[in-house]
Amino acid sequence: MSSSPYKRVLLKVSGETFCRRGESGIAMDQVGVLADQIKDVANAGCELAVVTGGGNILRGKQFSEVSASINPPTAHYMGMLATVINGLALRDALENVGVHVRLQSAIPMANVCEPFIKGRCERHLEKGRVVILAAGTGSPFVTTDTAAALRAREIGADAVLKATKVDGIYSEDPLKNPHAQRYETISYKEVLDKGLQVMDATAIHHCMEGNIPIVVFDYQRAGNIARVVAGEPIGTRVGA
């Protein structure tokens, strides 16, 4: 990793990473694809933390909007628990391919995983272990994108890598407008001013305040995560 611009990165993976396109739940073959790419990054020497989403199982905000009998905070806690389920699946997939990994949760559950403790997380990273960070921030009404930005600031990550199923940030939805412009680089302020759906505004503000670049890229092409970590110009880079 001597030529990499990043020593430590935070990888944000959404819930859709854990299932097949158009489906929900967990498809372990898809989790295995992600695990293989993470293994390449870990073997190259980059310190890697992973924040998991949970939308393949349940999105707290959406669930509260369609379920009148569920209080919004309860729905958000349910969504946070969904990210822990994904974290468990990813942990076992990584162990299966020989990666040293730890799962930490912002909601304490001692029989399942470690609690998130900043110093302990950093020690794991320094020892070459991948750390999966689940349950968001442990508080309702906070997205996993914002959790990723906050954790990146806490652990001193050099970048936030957002793995998606598109190859970057576009001026419009490229599925609706084939002439939409894809950005190679864009500033935090432009993202906010244009209302581009990259990460929620709170997450963008945290990265901007911490001067942490965000790279949005298509993780589905084999080796792309390692290429981004190596500094190759893949996807869209959001910076100052």
CATH code for position 191: 3.40.1160.10
- The answer on whether 144 is annotated among ligand-binding residues is yes
| Domain of residue 125, residue span | 8-239
- The answer on whether 238 is annotated among ligand-binding residues is no
74 lies in a domain? Answer: yes
Torsional sign, CA 195, 199, 205, 209: negative
206 lies in a domain? Answer: yes
- 162 contacts 236 by C-beta, under 8 angstroms: no
Closest CA to 228 of 2, 71, 4, 31: 4
What is the Cα–Cα distance from 31 to 28, expressed in whole angstroms?
Answer: 5
- The answer on whether 170 is annotated among ligand-binding residues is yes
Place of tokens 């190259």: 44
Torsional sign, CA 142, 143, 147, 153: negative
Give residue-wise pLDDT tens across range 164-194. Answer: 988 999 998 888 888 999 999 999 999 999 9
2 lies in a domain? Answer: no
- The answer on whether 91 is annotated among ligand-binding residues is no
What is the Cα–Cα distance from 18 to 1, expressed in whole angstroms?
Answer: 28
181 lies in a domain? Answer: yes
Number of domains in the chain: 1
| CB neighbour list of residue 178: distance below 8 Å, 6 or more residues apart | none
Say what the pTM is: 0.93
110 lies in a domain? Answer: yes
- The answer on whether 137 is annotated among ligand-binding residues is yes
- The answer on whether 52 is annotated among ligand-binding residues is no
- 120 contacts 155 by C-beta, under 8 angstroms: no
Give residue-wise pLDDT tens across range 21-33. Answer: 888 999 999 999 9
The one-letter amino acid code at 55 reads G
79 lies in a domain? Answer: yes
Q: What pLDDT is recorded for position 60?
A: 82
